[in-house]
Structure 1
Amino acid sequence: MWWFTQGLCFLPVFLVVWSSCTFIVSYIIALLRRDVDVLFPYISDTAATPPESCIFGLMTFVSACAGIATIYARFKYVEKLTEETRVVSPRLNRVTLVLGMLSCLGMCVVATFQETIVTVVHDMGALLFFVSGVLYILLQSVISYSSFPYGTSISVWRARLAVAVIASVAFFPTVICAFLVKQTDQRDLHRDTGSKDYPFHVASAVCEWIVAFSFVCFFLTYIDDFKMFTLRVRTELVS
């Protein structure tokens, strides 16, 4: 049996591969069309104009659906583990589920409302995605530590904690430096390397990519856990 057919581990694998392709494909298309600079564009810059915006929106919606499925599967796994061992607070597990769902909602908002058209809504969606996503992986690291040795290994917990710390550290310069970047014509996504705020743009853009890929790659740590269980839907008719 192939390893990716065991249990539900295909869910995090698909999520990581598809989401990574979403970022990369939109960047390559925007680059080939010369809509953005080669170095240090914001993720949103690479999906601001058609056709890359259309492709990014469609692929991001699929990523959000895969993210919801993966996050819910993780929630049910921890819930079952809690029933048998009582090592994780059910309330903490529910809070983490809500944060994960909010991060997926933020992804959909970012993909639907382009930064050059509805900037305020786009920025609110990005903030929702980043804040909820970082909190989600931090709390999942706490859950992993609490469930050791029943739910995960110490090496997996360390990997999750490392990714969560990287995302948390990169989140603050992403937001702070973005506020220090001077707002220009939203239709021109090319940056003036000689401007005084260009270093802030570089710091913000680089950290944004780090946070996004940290959040996505965090789900790779779910593979071993997801090999051990499956989910089934049971239908009951109430007369």
Structure 2
Amino acid sequence: MMMLTQTNLLSVAIYALAVIRGDVDPIFPYISSAADKRPESCIFAMGTNISSFLVLFMIYVRYNQMVGIINAHHDFQLAKWNYMAKCFGYLAATGMFVVANVQETAITQVHMTAAICTFGGFTIWMTFQCYLTKYYNENITHYSVYVYRVIFTILSAIFFFTSIGFGTAAAYVFHLTYPDLPTPRPWNRRIYQPGYHLHQVSAFAEWGCAISQVLFMQSFIPEFEDVFIEYRFAGRYAYLPEPPRPPTQEEIDAEDHRLAEEFRMSIGRFM
């Protein structure tokens, strides 16, 4: 979990590098805008790829942890919610992987769809986790952890819808003035761009959503300390018989001696 947090902190480093290089406006650019140009895009891709696999693994571990608890209580209704949570979590991790490898200005529709899947899917996963924590907090954690998760889930949802709403409004206002121009990517306050202030709210909300989700993940650290993960590998040919051992020199000499004796005996019979 700490490695996941450190990887997500790359976003802050990428933002600083993009501002220093003059690639984005320093006042709340989108995370993807800060990582759209090289070398920021290279660093962002590596860090986010690692994060996507770590998030996927965290979701897998959490799912199996809840499976054990649910089976012990024979509550198969909650098992369905746990499975649905896993599906949305996998959707978020997949979206993160696509965001890492498809830059904002490369294929905008793919990037934006993946970003919505990432933030939206993970917010839904957080909601399911709050629901499951409410029923089983006495087994693995404390009530205060449940409250903590609810707070950041609500914040994540508010920031998510705020980012989408104000981002859409910013593009709408811009195209009222410039209907033939594409939506600015990135936005820049140094030139006149109608809707820029709406964009700032959207970008601030995107950062808030990302930070809320990272802080939510931190709440699993105490619970995962009690999780034991065992990995076993069994190859397809693991149980095949061993190949024959090559004969030693003593065995070869003994066989030669036996064949020579048999040859002499056969010659003696003909004599």
TM score, norm. by length of structure 2: 0.78
Distance (Å, rounded) in 2 between the aligned partners of 1:208 and 1:103: 15
Compare CA radii of gyration and give the structure with the larger one. Answer: 2
Pair 1:152-2:149 in alignment: no
AA matched with 1:217: L
Q: Equivalent of 1:122, from 76, 92, 111?
A: 111
Distance (Å, rounded) in 1 between the aligned partners of 2:196 and 2:184: 18
Instruction: Note closer, same or farther for the CA distance 1:177–1:140 as it changes in structure 2 (3 Å cut).
Output: same
- In the TM superposition, residue 233 of structure 1 has moved relative to its aligned partner by 2.1
Distance (Å, rounded) in 2 between the aligned partners of 1:228 and 1:54: 36
Stretches of structure 1 lacking an aligned partner (at least 5 in a row): 1-11
AA matched with 2:83: R
Q: Equivalent of 1:228, from 216, 226, 229?
A: 226
Stretches of structure 2 lacking an aligned partner (at least 5 in a row): 175-180, 240-271
- In the TM superposition, residue 114 of structure 1 has moved relative to its aligned partner by 0.8
Pair 1:64-2:61 in alignment: no
- In the TM superposition, residue 131 of structure 1 has moved relative to its aligned partner by 1.2
| CA contact 2:187–2:196 (8 Å) conserved in 1 | no
How many residues align structurally? 227
AA matched with 1:219: M
| CA contact 1:75–1:93 (8 Å) conserved in 2 | yes
| CA contact 2:33–2:185 (8 Å) conserved in 1 | no
Distance (Å, rounded) in 1 between the aligned partners of 2:44 and 2:64: 30
SS of 1:37 mapped into structure 2? coil
Among all aligned residue pairs of Structure 1 and Structure 2, give the percentage whose two residues are the same amino acid: 26
Q: Which residue of 2 aligns with 1:6?
A: none
Distance (Å, rounded) in 2 between the aligned partners of 1:131 and 1:168: 8
Q: Which residue of 1 aligns with 2:188?
A: 191
- In the TM superposition, residue 160 of structure 1 has moved relative to its aligned partner by 0.5
Distance (Å, rounded) in 1 between the aligned partners of 2:3 and 2:73: 30
AA matched with 1:213: I
Q: Which residue of 1 aligns with 2:70?
A: 82
- In the TM superposition, residue 188 of structure 1 has moved relative to its aligned partner by 5.7
Distance (Å, rounded) in 2 between the aligned partners of 1:202 and 1:169: 16
Instruction: Note closer, same or farther for the CA distance 1:84–1:188 as it changes in structure 2 (3 Å cut).
Output: closer
Q: Which residue of 2 aligns with 1:213?
A: 211
- In the TM superposition, residue 236 of structure 1 has moved relative to its aligned partner by 5.0
Give a deviation string over 1:131-161, Cα, whole Å, max 9, x none: 1011011111111001121132101101011
- In the TM superposition, residue 85 of structure 1 has moved relative to its aligned partner by 2.6
Distance (Å, rounded) in 1 between the aligned partners of 2:90 and 2:114: 13
| CA contact 1:104–1:129 (8 Å) conserved in 2 | yes
Q: Equivalent of 2:96, from 92, 97, 107?
A: 107
- In the TM superposition, residue 186 of structure 1 has moved relative to its aligned partner by 6.8
Distance (Å, rounded) in 1 between the aligned partners of 2:24 and 2:146: 38
- In the TM superposition, residue 187 of structure 1 has moved relative to its aligned partner by 7.7
| CA contact 2:25–2:189 (8 Å) conserved in 1 | no
Q: Which residue of 2 aligns with 1:5?
A: none
| Segment drifting more, 154-163 vs 190-199 | 190-199
Q: Which residue of 2 aligns with 1:4?
A: none
Instruction: Note closer, same or farther for the CA distance 1:97–1:230 as it changes in structure 2 (3 Å cut).
Output: same
Distance (Å, rounded) in 2 between the aligned partners of 1:172 and 1:50: 30
Q: Equivalent of 1:51, from 39, 57, 73?
A: 39
Instruction: Note closer, same or farther for the CA distance 1:216–1:23 as it changes in structure 2 (3 Å cut).
Output: same
Q: Which residue of 2 aligns with 1:23?
A: 11
| CA contact 2:4–2:51 (8 Å) conserved in 1 | yes
